[in-house]
Structure 1
Amino acid sequence: MNHAWTPTGLFVTATDTGTGKTTLASQLAAALHARGSCVRVRKPVESGCAHDEDGNLLPADALALQRAAGERESLEAVAPYRLSAALSPARAAALEGISLTLDKLERACLVGGRQGDFLLVEGAGGFYSPLASDGLNADLASRLRLPLLILAPDRLGVIGHVLLTLEAAARRGLDVAGVVLNRLPDPERPAQLDNATELSALTPDTPLYSVADTDGMAPLAAALAEHLIR
């Protein structure tokens, strides 16, 4: 597919679901907007949407992104495909009889864009999670050719998940802007666990950041924004 707009920006993905992608993407959108950047946020498909009082599906993640970016675009532009089942978008769309393809999601990400805009796309679930009838989050990222910002839960076992995701990105020729370890509340977390130190040694060329749940995401987003539009 040929487009007049060759976007610059980030594709926010993860090793798993529930890692804090929307929180960080929203904070980053707000930081870029505050610095005067024209941010086009996209959550091209969102599943698990609740119905509002009028019976319409409300994409909560996309709404947070839209507000953070200054409501420059309509919610329909930010999240054109909305699904009610809290499943992978590919599965939810199949159950709801909706045709969801990579072509459609790619077009949804690029519509309205102009040179100089910053395209911030949030995926759904993990990097290798099913996204459409014909592909994964990884396939959409490959089409857009945006650098990846990878979130991972800072817990036991995450090192292998991060390394696999980095290898998958490298196989597709995708740049990685950074890996963010998000320390979510976990009463069973081993006291001596230090994923950041181990990953830094294993991936010395990959920027690595650590945050504690939502605390620290705003400062990280501000630092990333300054680096991205310097």
Structure 2
Amino acid sequence: MKTYFVTGTDTDAGKTFVSCALLYAAGLLGYKTLAHKPVAAGCERTEQGLRNSDATHLMAAMTEYEEYEMVNPIALEPAIAPHIAAQESGSSLSVARSAGFARGIMMARADLLLIEGAGGWRVPLNRRETLADLAKNLKQPVILVVGIKLGCINHALLTVEAIKADGLTIAGWVANQIDPEMSHYKENLATLAQLITAPLLAEIPYIQDHSWAEAAKSIPEPALRYLVDNK
């Protein structure tokens, strides 16, 4: 099973939106897909327990069934930074624990697994560890979601530098237009394509209703086959 760690240039870059689009598009090609959200803050109380909307969207987009707790093993109620939410909940986060959960779902049978981080690359888990340390522990290639808006070039290049400095490979990046009125959109995208030395997997236009099924139409089939079949 091909596994990728999905990160973004910041909190609102569209990691879940793009992950769902990738999962859905891959499923349309006949691939079996799974998703994993190791840590999610901003969960709602339900009869089944705490539930996070990002995780439930991922479950709707993937083709294979897994229990919610396998997809999102650590669910935190406050909609704040995960390490602070954990402190308020009287719990703690660690790379070892999160990696254990991730490796559990990595043993499932599928063609593609996307492990989605939270926020940007260096979101803290505790005083010493960040989600980047989880990605390093899992040793999987990274898909970078770049939220295309003012300031995206700086955010993207700094994130690329950090990922490479941590010794991980960037399998590719996705341009996700989140500001429909951004000035010089094409010029910014061209600059990013020139400076990021990894494949541009897809350019997803602004979609008002945030339909990941609609976004999936913008993901080229060769990009999906590259992610799943590339040895």
User: Is the 8 Å Cα contact of residues 7 and 142 (structure 2) preserved in structure 1?
Assistant: yes
Q: Which residue of 1 aligns with 2:97?
A: 104
**Is it true that 1:159 corresponds to 2:158 in the alignment?**
no
Identity of paired residues, percent? 33
Determine if the alignment matches structure 1 residue 39 to structure 2 residue 33.
Answer: yes
Check 1:12–1:133 CA distance in 2 against 1; reply closer, same or farther (3 A cut).
Answer: same
**Per the alignment, in what secondary structure is the counterpart of residue 190 of structure 1?**
coil
Question: Contact 1:24/1:221 (CA < 8 Å) preserved in 2?
Answer: no
Q: Secondary structure at the match of 1:127?
A: coil
- After TM superposition, the score normalised by the length of structure 1 is 0.85
**Gap change, CA 1:229 and 1:8, over 3 Å in 2:** closer
Higher mean C-alpha deviation, range 219-228 or range 139-148: 219-228
For the aligned residue pairs, the C-alpha RMSD in angstroms reads 2.3
Instruction: Please identify, of 218-227 and 159-168, the stretch whose mean Cα deviation from structure 2 is larger.
Output: 218-227
1:135 is paired with a residue whose SS is: coil
Cα distance in 2, alignment partners of residues 140 and 61 from structure 1? 19
1:45/1:132 CA distance change after superposition, 3 Å: farther
d(CA) in 2 for partners of 1:149, 1:182:
13
Write the mapping of 1:75-94 to structure 2, written as runs, cut at 5 A. Answer: 75-94=68-87
Aligned residues: 221
Structure 1 partner of 2:199:
207
CA contact (8 A) 2:204 2:219 kept: no
Q: In structure 1, what residue type is equivalent to 2:6?
A: V
Q: Of Structure 1 and Structure 2, which has the larger fraction of its residues in helix?
A: 2
Query: Could you tell me which of 174, 191, 196 is aligned with 2:189?
Result: 196
CA offsets per residue over residues 22-67 of structure 1, 9 Å max, x none? 1111122223334444433100111011223x38311111111112
Q: CA deviation at 1:165?
A: 0.8
Alignment partner, residue 49 of structure 1: 43
Q: CA deviation at 1:133?
A: 5.2
Residues 32 and 63 of structure 2 are in contact (CA less than 8 Å); yes or no, is this contact kept in structure 1? no
The CA distance in 2 between the partners of 1:63 and 1:150, in whole Å, is: 21
Provide the rounded CA distance (Å) in 2 between the counterparts of 1:144 and 1:93.
Answer: 22
Contact 1:159/1:199, CA 8 A, preserved across alignment: yes
Q: Deviation at 1:226?
A: 2.1
Tell me how far 1:163 sits from its aligned partner.
0.9
Contact in 1 for aligned 2:34/2:63 (Cα 8 Å): no
Can you give the 5+ residue segments of structure 2 that lack an aligned partner in the other structure? none
Aligned to 2:106, the other structure's residue is in SS state: coil
